[in-house]
Amino acid sequence: MSRRAGSDDIVYTVVSALAEAAAVAPDELPYTLAEYVDPAMLESLVSRDHNCELTFQVPDHEVTVTAAGEVFVDGVRFRDGERPIQDGERSTLNGERSILDDDRRIPDGDELPVLPNRAPNFGLQQFISELPATVYQSRNEPGWPIDFISDNCRELTGYDPNAFVLGGVTFGFDLIVPEDRELVSTVVEEAVRNEEPFTVVYRIRTADDELKWVMELGIGLVGEEDPIPFVGVLVDVTELTHDLDLQNHVLV
Amino acid sequence: MPGAFESATTCDPWDRCLYQLSAQPRRQIVVSLLDVPDERRLPLPEAAITEPCSVDLEQFEVELRHHHLPKLANAGYVRWEEASFRVQRGPRYEEAETVMRLLLESSDRLPDAPIRGWDR
C-alpha cells in the first residue's frame, strides 16, 4: 500500500508526483507549486478528518489531493516509494471524479472550491508570449507586486517571471529609477481615482544594470477585490526616446 | 486610495504578519535576517533551519521553494533567488522584524522556543 502523505509532507508529495509526471527530479520542476495553489490549503486539507478533496491545474496536468493524503495526477494515483504503475494496473479516476475501482474509490463528499489559477490558459499564454510586449497583472500595493508576468519580461528586465511572482522583485522598488517613481505613482493614482486606463513612460534599471525606457499601458480593475488588480502591457521604447518629448513623461 | 509607495491599508497588516509567522521555517528566515544588512543575501536552506539534525534536506528544500519562500516574498518580507537559492530582506521586512523582536524580548514569558537562537 502506498504511503499516504500527512500535512507535514503533503507539499513534498505533490511536488514529487508532479516531477514524476514530468519525468524530472523534484528540484527540476519548471514551475513553483505556489503559483497554482496555496500550499497551506493542502496542509489544511490533510490535517483534518474531513471527507473532501481539492483539485487544481498546473501546466499540462490536473492534480487532486484528498483529505486522506492521496495525490492523483491526471486521475492516476501517485504511489510514493513504489515502482511506477504498469499498464493494466492503473488506478484512475473514471467518469465522475468521486468514482474509482473498488477499494481505490475516492470517498464521496464535499469538494473544496478549486483555487483560482492566476495563470492564463495555455492557448492564451502562447499568444501572450509571442507579443512584442510584456503583459502583466499586479495589484495596488506598495511597489505594485506582480501576480502574473509574461515570459518575455526576461528580455525587457533581465529577470525571470518567477523573480517577480515568487521572488518578490517589483517594478516599484527594484526597477523604476528613483527619479521617476513619484511621477508613475501619481499617474497611476489618478487613473485609479478616475477609473480610467493610464499610459506612462519611465525609466527602469534592469537586472543587468542597463537603463531602458518603458511605455506602460494599464488599467486598474476597479470593482474587483481589494487591493484592486492592475493589468497592462509594457513596451521597450528605448530606441524611440529620441523622438519623444521626454520633458513630459505622461502620454495621454 | 494609498499611493504605491505609502503604507498599504487594504489588507490587515496584523492578519498578514501573524499568518506569515505561523510556520517555523518562515519564522526562522525572518530571524536569520534580523541582524544582517538589507543587501545581504543568506544561503538557503541554512537560513531556514532550526534544528539541522532533524531535517530531511531534500524535502525541506522543496517545501521552501514551493511554499514558504513564495509566501514570504508575496507578503514583501523577503526576496529570494531561485538559481542561487539565497534570501534577503524584502520591502516590507520591517513588519515581520518588529513582531519577531517583540517575541524575542518576551522570551521568558513564552512557551518552548519557536526558533533557533531563541535565547539570543
Percent of chain B with pLDDT over 70: 79
Q: What dihedral angle (degrees, nearest 10) is formed by the CA atoms of A68, A166, A229, B11?
A: 70
Give the tens place of pLDDT for each residue, A164-181.
887 788 888 889 999 999
Rounded Cα distance between B120 and A15, Å, is 36
Q: Give the nearest partner residue to B5 out of A15, A142, A227, using CB atoms.
A: A142
Mutation target to probe the B interface, by most B beta carbons within 10 A, among A173, A175, A184 is A173
Residues 6+ apart with CB under 8 A from B10: A140, A141, A226, A227, B2
- Chain CA centroid to CA A170, Å: 15
Give the tens place of pLDDT for each residue, A3-46.
567 778 899 999 999 999 999 999 889 899 998 998 988 988 88
Q: Helix crossing, B93-105 with B13-20: angle to 10°? A: 70
Query: Quick check: B3 contacting A, CB < 8 Å?
Result: yes
Strands A110-111 and A52-58: parallel
Q: Phi first, then psi: give them for residue A236, nearest 5 degrees.
A: -75, 115
pLDDT interval class at A103 (50, 70, 90) = very low
Among A174, A162, A234, CA closest to A198:
A234
The reported pLDDT for the residue numbered B80 is 92
Torsion over CA: A198, A203, A204, A210 (sign): positive
Alpha carbons within 13 A on the beta-carbon side of A218: 33
Query: Quick check: B80 contacting A, CB < 8 Å?
Result: yes
Residue of A nearest to B80 (CA): A167
- pTM attached to this predicted model: 0.58
Give the tens place of pLDDT for each residue, A179-204.
999 999 999 999 988 889 999 999 99
Q: Is residue A75 classed exposed, middle or buried when 0-12, 13-18 and 19+ CB atoms within 10 A define those classes? A: middle
Q: How many helices, marked H, and strands, marked E, lie in chain A?
A: 6, 10
Looking at this predicted complex, what is its ipTM? 0.75
Residues 6+ apart with CB under 8 A from A217: A197, A198, A199, A232, A233, A235
Q: Give the nearest partner residue to B11 out of A143, A162, A227, using CB atoms.
A: A227
Rounded Cα distance between A108 and A40, Å, is 23
- How far B81 CA lies from chain A's nearest CA (Å)? 6
Among A151, A36, A150, A16, CA closest to A81:
A16
Q: Does the distance separating the beta carbons of B71 and A40 come in below 8 Å?
A: yes
Alpha carbons within 13 A on the beta-carbon side of B76: 24
- Residue B50 near residue B58, CB atoms below 8 Å: no
Query: Quick check: B79 contacting A, CB < 8 Å?
Result: yes
* Residues of chain A contacting residue B29, judged by C-beta atoms under 8 Å apart: none
pLDDT truncated to tens, each residue of chain B (120 aa)? 333 443 333 467 788 788 888 899 999 999 999 988 888 899 999 999 876 666 788 899 999 999 999 999 988 899 999 888 999 999 889 999 999 998 888 877 777 655 555 544
Among A230, A228, A221, A166, CA closest to A38:
A166
The reported pLDDT for the residue numbered A167 is 78
Give the tens place of pLDDT for each residue, B68-100.
999 999 888 999 998 889 999 998 899 999 999
Lookup result for grid cell 501573524: B18
Reply yes or no on whether the pLDDT at A88 is more than 60: no
